[in-house]
Amino acid sequence: MSLLNLKERAYEKKLRKLEDAQCSYNSIKSSTNVLFNTILTILSLLSVIPFIFVIIISLTDEESLAMNGYRFIPEKWSFYAYEYIVSAGENIIRSYGVTILVTVTGTLLGLLLTGTYAYALSRKTYEFRSFFTKVITIPMLFSGGMIANYLIVTKVLMLKNTIWALILPLCLNSYNIIVLRTFFKTSIPDSVVESAKIDGASEWHLFFKIVIPMALPGLATIGLFLTLGYWNDWFNAMMYMDDKTWIPLQYLLIQIESSIDWLASNKSMMGVDGIQAAANLPKETIKMAIVVISTLPIIFAYPFFQRYFVNGLTIGAVKE
């Protein structure tokens, strides 16, 4: 046997030892694995159980709830809270449609504006990068206040009682731009951009055909932020909407809850019939039903974003 073969065998043997040592170092003992799984299971249950409890309370009879308090297994079940909300009929269906329209349109428009703004700031060759970075940084530190915002939206932009009053105020966010800019800088190599430009790609072709497919985790993260913001927004409707045609779901649910609270507080002013009607109102269960109605669509939408969410958030989370 030659000296070269002996050296090769010794090298292979040493390499196998290193691989075995690395595998043993990275492996987890079965007892430790069971402990970690138990801890994660408990944490998952602690996150899910409160929402399940909210659903159960929303399906509990109001009188049973008043007599026995909150229980995981109610003495009497009832769908009256949901029936009361659905009794709004056309209004709640219209508000659902408005919320879906605002959420979809606002998320797509917000992704387009945030993505193009952040991509421009991420390129070192962009001449006005420093100026536009200051433009998004100043609103993070100083705000004109509620009155200034109201005057601009209603008097300057003339958006009151239009659907754009629900979309445009939430479209751009300085934090989202900074996160996505950092994501572009860390995940889109300059060599890829330069190669595409050498091949004759325009800026729009480069952005939509090359940058977006490579930046899906970051865009999905910002898309989730925008979706949650639009779906849960009611403040802009309260500020800018007098026309009931464009009232979103969240604001309608708040109005229903406020009406019930008002009736419960002023039942003595409405005579015997008013007192009886107020007594039959689902005061507690309807609050939980409102939480369920407003939360379930987001829960069903989240799995579509989850694939990219963690990766996009961790890569783009470091500010410069």
For 198-246, what is each residue's pLDDT tens digit? 888 888 888 888 888 888 888 888 888 898 899 989 899 989 988 888 8
pLDDT at site 197 = 82
For 140-170, what is each residue's pLDDT tens digit? 888 778 888 888 888 898 999 899 999 999 9
Across the strands, what pairs with 77? 60
Q: How far is CA 77 from the centre of its chain?
A: 32
CA dihedral of 136, 177, 235, 285, whole degrees rounded to 10: -150
Residue 143's identity, in one-letter code, is S
C-alpha–C-alpha distance, residues 86 and 99, integer Å? 16
pLDDT at site 320 = 45
Among positive and negative, which fits the CA dihedral 249, 252, 256, 257?
A: positive
Question: What would the two tokens of residue 125 be?
Answer: 């060759």
C-alpha–C-alpha distance, residues 294 and 312, integer Å? 26
Structural domain of 265:
82-315
pLDDT at 109 over 50: yes
Is residue 295, in this structure, part of any structural domain at all?
yes
Average pLDDT in the chain: 79
Is residue 166, in this structure, part of any structural domain at all?
yes
Nearest to 167 by CA among 119, 107, 208: 107
Is residue 118, in this structure, part of any structural domain at all?
yes
Is residue 195, in this structure, part of any structural domain at all?
yes
C-alpha–C-alpha distance, residues 228 and 101, integer Å? 14
For 246-301, what is each residue's pLDDT tens digit? 888 888 878 877 777 766 666 666 555 555 555 566 677 877 887 888 787 777 77
Is residue 196, in this structure, part of any structural domain at all?
yes
Question: What would the two tokens of residue 196 be?
Answer: 């595409």
CA dihedral of 166, 171, 174, 176, whole degrees rounded to 10: 120
pLDDT at site 316 = 45
Is residue 68, in this structure, part of any structural domain at all?
no
Straight-line distance from the first to the last Cα atom of the chain, in angstroms, rounded to the nearest whole number? 60
pLDDT at site 87 = 77
Host H or E run for residue 124:
none
Angle made by CA atoms 223, 237, 306, in degrees to the nearest 5: 20
Is residue 309, in this structure, part of any structural domain at all?
yes
Across the strands, what pairs with 60? 77
What are the b/e assignments for 8-31, b being 16+ CB within 10 Å?
A: eeeeeeeeeeeeeeeeeeeeeeee
> Which band of pLDDT confidence, cut at 50, 70 and 90, is reported for residue 53?
confident
Among residues of the chain, what percentage have pLDDT more than 70? 78
Question: Total structural domains in the chain?
Answer: 1
Is residue 48, in this structure, part of any structural domain at all?
no
Phi/psi at 60 (nearest 5 deg)? -95, 145
pLDDT at site 318 = 44
Nearest to 249 by CA among 232, 265, 262, 268: 232
User: What is the three-class DSSP state of 145?
Assistant: coil
C-alpha–C-alpha distance, residues 263 and 271, integer Å? 12
pLDDT at site 166 = 92
Which CATH number goes with the domain that contains 139?
Answer: 1.10.3720.10
pLDDT at 83 over 50: yes
